[in-house]
Structure 1
Amino acid sequence: MIGLVNWTAAFVGFILAVILSNVFGYFMGFVGISIGLFIAGIVVGLMVGGGVLTGFGNGLVAGAFGAIVISIILLIGGTITAGLVGFGVAAAASIVWILTIFVTSGFVVGVGGAIGSLISGKN
């Protein structure tokens, strides 16, 4: 069904995206990071099935988790190290960071999710 997010698949995809992008990124640089994100998206798509839009949407949510977690860590770190000024700077950086990661990584994981849902054949 289009529009519903399988939160289990999205969370598993997020964890896999973190692990695989770090492992592949260590050996192959930026290309490896993209490959790890793509593979995580395929796993999300295989878990949810349903069609291209369902797989893409769930993959996009899995990719967006990364942006949200990184921005929270950035906010906490900025506040701890520089107080209110650090919070303000980290908040501004977080907005840019979320948008950048959402567009880049979220899209790669989303495309992987769409392909994975096509491969699964589940409706």
Structure 2
Amino acid sequence: MSVEVGLELPSLELTFTRTDLVRYAGASGDFNPIHHSDHAARAIGLDGVLAHGMLTMGRALRVVTDWAGDPAKVVSYGVRFTRPVPVPDDGVGTVVTVNGRVTRVSDGVATVSIEALCDGAKVLGSATAEVRVD
């Protein structure tokens, strides 16, 4: 695969629904009620239910793994959580748009900067993955 700095990865739109949050809670063991109960979320001052940060992080990496063709090519991945992803109980959910851009290529490893936006606001900051491209 020929990879150069500046390469834009195909954009990805991820939908998060309440059902996704319940499934993730079961798989991860994270049953914090702010991820499934509007009542519990509002009781601590939130506007409503929020997606799990690790679910958002994991799903956002798909912009890289879909492009690379093999998740095993990912060498490292890190993010900073900047804003929560609200998930309404409307049967539709919310959309996070994910973009990636190659910012460095060295010794067969590409560094990809990832941008994840929900309603135009960044939900992940300093999101970077390193991927083997040789």
**TM-score, normalising length: structure 1:** 0.39
* Greater RCO (Cα-Cα under 8 Å, separation 6 or more): 1
Relative to its length, the structure with more strand (as a share) is: 2
